[in-house]
Amino acid sequence: MLTVRELLRDLDVAVLAGEANLDAPVRWVHISELADPTPWLSGGELLLTTGLTVDTPEAERDYIHRLADHGLAGLGFGTGFGHATVPEAMLQAAAERDFPLLEIPYDTPFIAVTEKAFARLVNEQYALLQRSIAVQERLQRIVLSERGLDAIASALATLIGGATIVFDGRGEPQARHSFRRELPDDALEALGAEVRERARRTEARGFVPSHPELAPRALALPVAGAETTGLPQAWLVAIKDSGGLSEFDRVVLHQAVTVVALELLRRHVASSTERRLAGDVLSELVAGTITGADLTRRLEPFGLGGRLTAVVMTPPARTGGRGTVLGSIDATEAALTAALRDEAVSGLVATSGSHVCALLPGFDDDELFELGRRLLERLVARLGAAPAVGVGRAVPAGDARRSYHEARCALEARTLGAAGHANGNGTAARATIATYRDLGSFQLLLSLQDSDALRLFCESLLGPIESGEGHYGGELMRSLEAFIECNGQWEAAARRLYCHRHTLRYRIRKIEELTGRDLASARDRIEFWLALRGRELVH
């Protein structure tokens, strides 16, 4: 770092005032004869002038005070032009402010000062560039080695000598690391609150935290996202352990913003790829196109082998101006993925229609129900309400379709009120979870997989509808399923089908005419539900 003292070394320049501040850093050297050059200066410069426009004692005093107030490193006054010596008023003002005032004699040209300063500053910038390139390469290697945000935060903390925190766009800490000085919890909460407030105001510029203990030594920078909203996807905050952030620290932090963005992009791509692969496996599992050894092999990359259990859930229902509606399936999937990660449980999570499904290692019943209770608590904390959950029994990985259908049937049986047929084996731990044990006599349906009896049962109820569809093109069957899944609620079923409720009523009447059944009857609805689920098993 170039200082006034180092700049004057080997130069024929006299120091007339401000000796105590000769170690002030010099950011640049500027020459100006304006009476007020401060609008064109940003602070930290050493100003050179001959004082041609400063010709009264009052103007000379104001000139010194103005430069000192603006944070300049000092003033080099060239004598032998407009002034034979440095004016006394300037000397007095500089002494009052302890502001470095230098006398540059006529035979020492300003170019001698500027050349020496620029050579030193260029060398410093080159060294800074080399160091910053090395830092950038180090941080990029962390991303390429997939060590995650924690490793990036740790490296940054060491580089700047302070604490680093990565917040998501909502102000929740995603990674944090300290160097020697731990960040107090109240300061961390204050930082998160400030990020949340800026998100609320849709502000996306870097800022100095307002916390009084952090402001002199902290900086928060936005990490831009791919979305067109312009809001940051994350924030990188650095707090120096002692002193203010140096120029090198600031360069490193601006480089780190790009590295954090790359890491978040890598995580997003990896997550999207895993979700797509998980969705493909689940679709084939549900359709029955992959079973046995092939299914077992496809599940191994997800950490599943031996025995597994299926969990099926629907988003929590919310009551609003349009009645009761289901929450976001994407939010439910994300919440379940996060809850499993918090529980350190590997598995496959994907969506299937209006359900979120997870295939988990095959715990025994007590462990599974305890895990389910903890997962529900985490889901409620993240979603604000409890989703409906069904759990199948532990089966060999190649028979995962059986556990999936048990979980879905248990979930839908409870929704339809069929859980009243449960065999009474429920426990308090499973009070909000439907399990295969709650199916009671409905387990007979699942035991008939791929049997002629099950196929005949399904065809006897659904065959008249399929053969009578005609110009409806499958709308009757889709309307039946939506009506039953919504437990006979006209508005909810119509919304799911994107049709008017009167259109749905017409279709349901047509189904009743074709089948001779009454869908106002809970018993008939349950039999249709059994047939629809059974058709999935034999197709």
- Looking at domain 142-267, its CATH architecture is 2-Layer Sandwich (3.30)
Whole-number average pLDDT of the chain:
82
Neighbours of 268 (CB within 10 A): 13
Could you tell me the pTM of the whole model? Answer: 0.51
Q: What does each C-alpha distance from 138 to 25, 155, 156, 159, 261 come to in angstroms?
A: 29, 9, 10, 11, 15
**Low-confidence winner among 21-35, 82-96, 450-464, 470-484 (lowest mean pLDDT):** 450-464
Cα distance between residue 41 and residue 472, in whole Å:
77
The vertex-329 CA angle with 443 and 224, nearest 5°, equals: 150
pLDDT at 415: 64
pLDDT confidence tier of residue 319, bands split at 50, 70 and 90: low
pLDDT over threshold 80, residue 98: yes
Residues 494-497: contacts with CB within 8 Å, 24+ apart? 495/322, 495/325, 496/354
Q: Is the pLDDT of residue 96 over 90?
A: yes
**What's the CA gap between 428 and 529, in Å, rounded?**
28
CA dist 46 and 76 (Å) reads: 7
* Cβ-based neighbours of 490, under 8 Å, separated by 6 or more: 483, 501, 504, 505
Q: And the tokens for 485?
A: 């899944």
pLDDT > 70: what percent of the chain? Answer: 88
Superfamily classification of domain 288-442: Reverse transcriptase/Diguanylate cyclase domain (3.30.70.270)
452-538: CATH superfamily:
PucR C-terminal helix-turn-helix domain (1.10.10.2840)
User: Residues 388-413: what's their mean pLDDT?
Assistant: 84
Q: Do domains 4-108 and 452-538 have the same CATH topology?
A: no
Where do we find the tokens 């006897």?
460
Q: What pLDDT, in 10s, does the model give residues 344-377?
A: 888 888 888 888 999 988 888 788 888 888 888 8
Residue whose C-alpha is closest to residue 352's, from 385, 325, 313, 297:
313
Secondary structure of residue 528 in the 3-state scheme:
helix
Dig out the tokens for 512 from the structure: 């009743």
pLDDT given at position 456: 66
Half-sphere exposure of 450 (CA within 13 A, CB side): 3
According to the model, what pLDDT value does residue 431 have? 42
Q: What is the 3-state secondary structure (H, E, C) of 152-187?
A: HHHHHHHHHCEEEEEEECCCCEEEEECCCCCCCHHH
**In this model, does residue 444 exceed pLDDT 60?**
no
> Tokens standing for 337?
């993925």
Q: Is the dihedral of CA 224, 230, 234, 240 positive or negative?
A: positive
Report pLDDT for 366: 81
pLDDT reading at 442 higher than 60: no
Do the beta carbons of residue 18 and residue 94 sit within 8 Å? yes
Residue 510, amino acid: K
pLDDT 10s digits, 114-145: 888 888 777 777 766 777 777 778 888 887 88
Into which CATH architecture does domain 4-108 fall?
3-Layer(aba) Sandwich (3.40)
Least confident interval from 246-260, 327-341, 428-442: 428-442
Boundaries of every domain in the chain: 4-108, 142-267, 288-442, 452-538
Quick: pLDDT tens for 142-200: 878 878 888 888 888 888 888 899 988 878 888 888 888 888 888 888 888 888 888 88
Q: Which two tokens stand for residue 331?
A: 């939010």
pLDDT of residue 324: 47
Q: Which of 326-340, 372-386, 450-464, 490-504 has the lowest mean pLDDT?
A: 450-464
CA distance 21 to 249: 24
pLDDT value of residue 428: 35
How far, in Å, CA of 141 to CA of 121, rounded?
30
* Sequence-distant contacts of 29-35: CB under 8 A, at least 24 apart: 29/113, 29/114, 29/117, 29/118, 31/110, 31/114, 35/59, 35/63
Confidence at 103, pLDDT banded by 50, 70, 90: very high
